[in-house]
Amino acid sequence: MPETKSKPRPFPTVLLTFAMLAATAVAEDPKEASWQNEAKPPQRQMLYEIFAPVMHDIGARNSRKATIISGPVEMKMANNQQPGKQWWVRLGRSKFKVTIEDSADLTIEKALTYAKRVPTPYLRCLEIVSEDNKAGLAFYKSLGGAAAHGGQSYLNMIPLEPSRAASVIVHEAGHILEQRARSVEEDILDRWAEAVKADNIDVSHYGNHANHEDQAEFARLYAFCLDDRMGRVKLRELEALSPARFALWERMLELSGVNKE
């Protein structure tokens, strides 16, 4: 009889199957899974999540009236040299310019509804950007995809819904007032970085991108807590949760010439 040869055993397949079972067993080991969870750093709290219920419709209850002092005067927009018009207005104790690009499809009356929603202390930013030959609160048809740009030499934005526009303005106010304060105390942003470490809490995801954006996002949150409908309760809560930032921001308001009354 011819010799019967046995079929070769699928040795590589057996090894592969064994390896897969072993890997699965390790991954499902509860001790291993527990160790992996403990190795991950705990996620920090975020102020924008804590205060989310109050961060809407800023300034809706403000009853101040804005008055046009002079204008319109025809001019070219500083950012793109397109035709526009400029007015001087008064809101409370503050006097500032409003400049609107002709193609922006925005009336001066609508622009003033934005300004009227801004908390009184933050109107200082509109005074600063109206100094000398600056354009004040300037509205453009487009800013290349951005909603606004702000620094102590300018505050440019596009037309938005009133509540969102006011929210954007108080963020840009953070940049404007910080820059004015830094012209007095140059290490302001270095001290802000130390305040962030001391508070051990985040402000927002956007603020985590850069130190100066964390500062502007805190300025926005402070403005919401300052809103009349909050009755200052939320302002005290903010101070308790982020005391180092809170104290330094109030110092920056003072240095930039803000009248809190």
What does residue 118 show for φ and ψ, rounded to 5 degrees? -75, 130
With vertex at residue 18, the alpha carbon angle to CA 17 and CA 21, rounded to the nearest 5 degrees, is 85
Write the pLDDT tens digit of every residue in 88-107.
999 999 999 999 999 999 99
More confident residue, 63 or 170: 170
For the chain, how big is the Rg over CA atoms in Å?
28
Query: Domains of the chain by range and CATH?
Result: 47-255 (3.40.390)
Question: The whole model's pTM is what?
Answer: 0.82
Token reading at 249 = 């921001």
Scan for tokens 């933050």, then name that residue: 122
- Region 225-230: mean pLDDT is 82
**How far separated are the first and last CA of the chain, in Å rounded?**
112
Instruction: For residue 178, give the nearest of 93, 250, 226, 234 by alpha carbon.
Output: 250
Q: Dump pLDDT digits (tens) for 42-97.
A: 678 999 999 999 999 999 888 889 999 999 999 999 999 999 999 999 999 999 99
Q: Tell me the H-state helices in the chain.
A: 11-27, 30-39, 47-50, 108-116, 124-128, 162-182, 188-199, 211-226, 233-241, 243-255
